[in-house]
A and B are shown apart, each in its own frame.
Chain A
Amino acid sequence: MSLKANKLSLTVSEATLLKNISLDIKPGKITTVLGPNGAGKTTLLRILAGDLAATAGDIQLHGKALYLWETTARAKMLAILPQHSLLDFPFTSEEVVLLGRIPHDTGAKHDLKIARAALKTVDGDYLATRLYTQLSGGEKQRVHLARVLAQIWEPCPDGERYLILDEPTSSFDLAHQQLTLEIVQSFSKKGVGVLMVIHDLNLAARCADQMIMMLSGEIVISGTAEQVLQKDNIHTVFEVDSEIGIHPRTGKPLVIT
């Protein structure tokens, strides 16, 4: 059982945005997607989230085509954190997190408990009663992270849960970048399959069980951090010269540019 993409391609008015992408997001594993701007990372995420239809290929969630799932049942298993949010209404942070409980009918009390716990997880309990519209960019992103966590907080009887994150750390300070990684890792330990687009190669190396490097809509290489993070791969994809060391504490590859 997994979230599986099989030979996805997307062509929009003769421009090929994605070509022959296959990937397998396994429960309890973290997959990171790397690549320069415009490589098709967000497009891939949007197809996996069901926002865009691929022109070829298919996506299977627990062995059943993604679009065949009833929307609420799917929402209980698959949560997506977008890069930006359009929200512009004065909800309190706690109310925003509670929106993540919409697919569930577990009762207001239980939902509130989960929302508070999720907000605490992202170091946002002090934000609970503050208006979302008055938060800083990083705080807003943390509130949304808490919202998607609240959406898949508890195991789902229909199957394992999946979390898709599009550059979750982009607007965070160092401490909150670390925190986000720890949260993602703790969720994956509970059996959640994670797919994450991330620009910081070293952060990606720290947590990834599987890495995918994309360029111009195609997967250039995929595998473990050691296999993917190599001088010539980084040069092909990012056109940057680099040195690869070993992280003194984690033992993972350390990219120095």
Chain B
Amino acid sequence: MRRMSPQSLLVTLSLVLPLVLLCALMIGPVVISPGKLLDAISGIIELSDTNLLSQESLILSSIRLPRVLLGALIGLCLASCGTAMQGLFRNPLADPSLIGVSSGASAGASFIIVCGGTWLHSGSMVGLSLVAMGAFLGGFLAVLLVYRLATSATGTSVITMLLAGIAISALAGALNSLFSFFADNDMLRRISLWQMGSLDAANWPRVCIAAIVAAILMRYLPRDSRALNALLLGESEARHLGIDVDWVKRRLILLTALGVGTAVAVAGTISFLGLIVPHIVRMLIGPDHRYLIPGTALAGALLLVIADAFARVVVAPAELPTGILTALLGAPFFFFLLIQNRKHLEA
């Protein structure tokens, strides 16, 4: 297959993304026409008093806008973290949900919810940050463990990596059940939200946290793109090329745990996004991380916004959790990759 030029992909994506965001704002149980969308947006800008806003403006400002933005930000985090992880593990099958990072993060989050008790209100910024912190720690431990187990001087063992993912998911699942056992009704409801993975709890504090983390990722991940390119050759080769491998590894593990942990804390486990997006973008422009990271970030945002728009209309007026939709799309894709990679698994 011929590659397209990375620049043209990045330009196309940055032109298409705003259009898709606008379209996603119009779609939902209540359809907002383009004209009304403009009216509603100008209404929000001019009037801060919510009582005077039209129904459309209300839907937009308190439900749809945060949801669409959160979708884009989470898509960005998951896809760029997936890219970094696949580079770090030197394996295109590394995905946060497959190698146990998402489950680790969700165990961390439920731990905080149960321990935090009643003063942790899901809407408050402080409460959310704490939950995000728990998810980060859980995710961090999971990446560290899998990395230690699966990679050695002679390469990455795919089998160990996936098995470690299973073990961590099982452990995290058991911890989750344990926490649920001690939880009251309200906590239970909140914990069960994670396992599904959905954007319907979107609100402005969540958007804020996701935006901060997305900004951190976009600031620091691209710095390591040359190091990631070198790491694809192997750790010693990267060292021979003057890369401070241990420092890069530590930084990437921290950043991916932060990205995935936050995504899990605010939107639950949205699986396979970190697997599919890097693959598609790599097929289009090749594995150079200097373009791959921004490319997957934009494409991830795009894909999750589209998937979430589908989730809102497929069974309208009810809604599907977004995580179900990405899993439905992602699992067959993963099978396809497994078949492609069979030679490696057998080797």
Contact = CB atoms under 8 A, between A and B. Distances in A.
B229 interface: yes
Contacts of B344: 88
Given A89-B92, A90-B282, A75 B242 contact: yes
Interface in A197-234: none
B232 interface: yes
Contact of A103 (B90, B242, B282, B288): B242
A76 B241 CA distance: 8
Interface in B216-244: 226, 229-230, 232-234, 236-237, 239-244
Interface residues of A, number: 28
Contacts of A78: 240
Given A75-B240, A75-B242, 17 more contacts: A71-B239, A71-B243, A72-B242, A86-B155, A87-B232, A87-B233, A87-B234, A88-B232, A89-B90, A89-B287, A90-B287, A95-B288, A99-B233, A99-B241, A102-B229, A102-B241, A102-B242
**Overall SS of chain B's interface:** loop
Contacts of B288: 91, 95
Contact of B240 (A79, A89, A92, A95): A79
Contacts of A91: 232, 286-288
Interface string B136-166: 0000000000000000011100000000000
A168 B148 CA distance: 31
3 pairs of A and B residues whose beta carbons are closest in the complex: A75-B242, A72-B242, A103-B242
B90 A80 contact: no
20 contacts: A46-B236, A49-B236, A50-B240, A80-B236, A80-B237, A82-B236, A82-B237, A85-B233, A85-B237, A86-B233, A88-B90, A88-B91, A88-B232, A88-B344, A90-B282, A90-B286, A99-B230, A99-B241, A102-B226, A103-B241
Interface in B59-116: 90-92
A232 B2 CA distance: 58
A100 interface: yes
B295 to A, nearest CB: 15
A190 to B, nearest CB: 20
Contacts of A49: 236, 240
A180 interface: no
Contacts of B233: 85-87, 99
B30 to A, nearest CB: 45
B328 to A, nearest CB: 28
B237 A95 contact: no
Interface string A151-177: 100000000000000000000000000
Nearest to A71: B242
A77 to B, nearest CB: 10
A80 B238 CA distance: 11
A151 B286 CA distance: 22
A19 interface: no
B285 to A, nearest CB: 11
A100 B229 CA distance: 11
A256 to B, nearest CB: 37
